[in-house]
Amino acid sequence: MLDKIGIAKRIAQELKDGYFVNLGIGIPTLVANYIPEGINVEIQSENGVLGMGPFPFEGEEDADIINAGKQTITTLAGASFFDSAMSFAMIRGKHVDLTILGAMEVSENGDIANWKIPGKMVKGMGGAMDLVASAENIIVAMMHVNKAGESKILKKCTLPLTGVNCVKKIVTELAFMEVTDKGIRLLERAPGVSVEQIVAATEATLLIVGEIPEMVIE
């Protein structure tokens, strides 16, 4: 089974040289720490920065330089700042190659719900609806089941949707999956996890073709 860092490490293997990437809050943010050697990517944060770097050293933080999670950050060589309309021009205009974000629920046709639990949590969608409506390559980083032990990978989402038919890949503590025209296909098992365990934790129908390899995490 993977921990959050393991999920981030597995997603990092999906990064390709030259990608512009938008990282959501939570596990997706951790992906920046595990970019494979020899792969150059630039991280976009929708509040208006491209070329985001690590957190600043203590005492060097600048209130005017933050990411979309409102955390103080630094910028790398080649970075740029821009306004919110231009930021979403990058996103809607499909100039960002990969979007990695968290989810509360994903359905087998690639619908995603991650912004609202009616009556409980109403924080807003932020940039997630714009991102999922336009990105061609969306990876969801999430836990396979909720705190009550119920599957978050469903035949149909129960929570208000963020976007429809958009998720391409899902990485959880148990598995690496791909959303296909025919449903969710199981691609890899997390270390030490069996296909049966994954099926038992998944409400959606999983397509299982041949031997399912165990993922390799360094």
Partner 1 sequence: MINKNVNTVQEALVGIENGMTLLLGGFGLCGIPENCIAELVQKETSQLTCVSNNAGVDDFGLGLLLQKKQIKKMISSYVGENAEFERQMLSGELEVELIPQGTLAERCRAAQAGIPAFYTPAGYGTEVAEGKETRDFNGKTHILEHAFEADFSIIKAWKGDTAGNLIFKGTARNFNPCMAGAAKITIVEVEELVEAGTLDPNQIHIPGIFVQRIFQGEKYEKRIEQRTVRTKN
Interface residues with partner 1 (CB under 8 A) are 45-49, 54-73, 81-85, 87-88, 91-92, 111, 122-130, 133-134, 160-165
Read off φ and ψ for residue 127, nearest 5 degrees. Answer: -95, 5
Question: Least distance to partner 1 from the beta carbon of 26, Å?
Answer: 13
If the CB atoms of residues 102 and 217 are measured against partner 1, the closer one turns out to be 102
Distances (CA, A) of 24 to 43, 44, 57, 143, 148: 11, 10, 23, 15, 24
Instruction: Determine which one of 14, 37, 42, 46 is catalytic.
Output: 46
CA 115, distance to chain mean position in Å, is 14
- Order across the sheet with 206-207: list the strands: 75-81, 49-52, 42-45, 20-23, 98-102, 138-141, 169-171, 175-180, 183-189, 206-207
Cβ–Cβ under 8 Å, residues 15 and 37: no
Question: Least distance to partner 1 from the beta carbon of 33, Å?
Answer: 11
Cβ–Cβ under 8 Å, residues 97 and 15: no
Question: Least distance to partner 1 from the beta carbon of 119, Å?
Answer: 9
Secondary structure element (H or E) that encloses residue 175, with its range: strand 175-180
If the CB atoms of residues 1 and 122 are measured against partner 1, the closer one turns out to be 122
Question: Least distance to partner 1 from the beta carbon of 8, Å?
Answer: 17
User: Is 46 an annotated catalytic residue?
Assistant: yes
If the CB atoms of residues 92 and 173 are measured against partner 1, the closer one turns out to be 92
If the CB atoms of residues 92 and 185 are measured against partner 1, the closer one turns out to be 92
CB proximity list for 187: less than 8 A, separation 6 or greater: 175, 176, 177, 178, 212
Q: Which residue has the tokens 């690496």?
A: 176
Cβ–Cβ under 8 Å, residues 98 and 137: yes
Question: Least distance to partner 1 from the beta carbon of 32, Å?
Answer: 12
If the CB atoms of residues 122 and 200 are measured against partner 1, the closer one turns out to be 122
Residues with catalytic roles: 46
